[in-house]
Amino acid sequence: MTEDTGVIAFWEGQNLLYATDTINIRFTAAKLQALKDEDAGISEIFYKADTVSFQTYSNGIDAIIAKKLLLEKHKAEMGQSISLWKEYAYLAINPAEHPFIKISEYTEEDWFYIGPFRSRFFLIDLVELISRLLKLPHCEGKTGPCEKYDDGRCRGWCTLIKSEAGKSEEENNEQPYLQKLDALLKEAFVHPDNSLLEMVQNEKQKYEDKLEFIKAELLKPELELLKRYKEWLIFLYKIKSLNYVTDKVSVKNGQLVMFKAEGKEHANPYIEIPYRANETLAINKNMLDEARILYQERV
């Protein structure tokens, strides 16, 4: 099975059950297989399907168009029951509420949300790394302080802010710990050009200068993690204002609104979404995969 971009379609005879575009056919097929025993809808698709087709394309835009054409011609019987994106997650930060940093499925509370991200494991590793580098809170329990404060891995923000949280906006101006944590969280998680990547790169260079190559090699996963997060942040900053027109597609605010295929134009509905201020770096889960492809075709 190929790792190319393409479309996966499940058929029961001539009846289309489900179709999805993907930038990695092998990965998506494996994910569907893995979810078969957990998701009733996916399980039913595997039970009903007698054929699974894999069609590759040279780029993500062509895959999106091919899937939309397929769905125009064949109404996918079970298309609405499958949501591969439902396990995606957001990173949420709030300096005034324990645990200050968390992974969230939705964006309904008064936290600042970033994402979504396709992997919770990526977020867990990222939060652990950044929290360790800056001694930021990475609370695993509902209350604190915890052993991370006891062994010096955290400054004990839960104890410092406990007496400050919940006060009025006027009183907040006199809450130094709350303000400091707010600034640190935003610098670490909201700004793509923070100094963390350079910090780890400099540490790696120091080890290499001392010919301590094993220690330098151990920092490569951390660098890769920070690079991936920085690139994803840049994507989230740009996607809601991404507009372009090519000979194939028209994109408005990160959404495909028109594509050309088979000698004619096909309209695609634009969805107006009233994002809140705390969702500046958040988009709907079900829009992520297509938005990612539209973005990558322009960078």
Q: What is the DSSP code string of 230-294? A: HHHHHHHHHHTT--EE-SSEEEETTEEEEEEETTEEEE---------GGGTEE--GGGHHHHHHH
Query: What letters, b where the CB count within 10 A reaches 16 and e where it falls short, cover 200-212?
Result: beebbeebeeeee
- The type of residue at 234 is I
Report for 147-151, 181-185, 189-193: range of highest mean pLDDT: 189-193
- Single pTM value for the model: 0.86
Burial status of residue 13 (CB atoms within 10 A of its CB: 0-12, 13-18, 19 or more): exposed
244-284 pLDDT, tens per residue?
999 999 999 999 999 998 888 999 899 999 999 999 999 99
Distance CA 115, CA 141 (A): 23
Q: Is residue 53 very low, low, confident or very high in pLDDT (cuts 50, 70, 90)?
A: very high
Burial (0-12, 13-18, 19+ Cβ within 10 Å), 20: buried
Q: Are 253 and 241 in contact (CB under 8 A)?
A: yes
Number of domains into which the chain is organized? 3
Q: Could you tell me if 156 and 35 lie in one domain? A: no
Residue 27: other Cβ atoms inside 10 A: 13
Between these two residues, 285 and 37, which has the higher pLDDT value? 285
Q: Using DSSP bridges, classify how beta strands 89-93 and 244-245 pair: parallel, antiparallel or unpaired.
A: unpaired
Provide the pLDDT for residue 85.
87
**Three-class DSSP category at 225:** helix
Q: What was the pLDDT predicted at 171?
A: 55
* 233 lies in the same domain as 193: yes
Q: Is the same domain home to 230 and 251?
A: no
Same-domain check for residues 123 and 181: yes
Tokens matching residue 62: 């062509």
Same domain, 136 and 243: no
At 38, which CATH number? 3.40.1440.10
Asked whether residue 229 falls in the same domain as residue 106, the answer is: yes
Are 290 and 242 part of one and the same domain? yes
Last residue of a domain, one of 82, 104, 128: 82
Whole-number Å distance between alpha carbons of 13 and 151: 62
- Laid out side by side, the sheet with 15-22 consists of 15-22, 6-12, 51-56
Bridge partners of residue 135, in order along the sequence: none
pLDDT at residue 204 is higher than 70 = yes
pLDDT of residue 154: 65
pLDDT at 176: 78
For residues 20 and 31, the answer to whether their CB atoms sit within 8 Å is no
Model pLDDT, residue 32: 87
Considering only CA atoms, which of 249, 240, 299 is closest in space to residue 274? 240
Query: Given 59, 82, 105, which residue is the final one in a domain?
Result: 82
The pLDDT of residue 132: 87
Mean pLDDT of 58-70: 91
pLDDT of residue 178: 79
Residue 265 has φ and ψ, to the nearest 5°, of -90, 140
Residue-number span of the structural domain to which 278 is assigned = 238-296
Where does the pLDDT of residue 11 fall: very low under 50, low under 70, confident under 90, or very high at 90 and above? very high
Dist CA 72 CA 265 (whole Å): 13
To the nearest whole number, what is the mean pLDDT of the chain? 86
- Same domain? For 162 and 252 the reply is no
172-176, 181-185, 245-249, 254-258 — which is least confidently predicted? Answer: 172-176
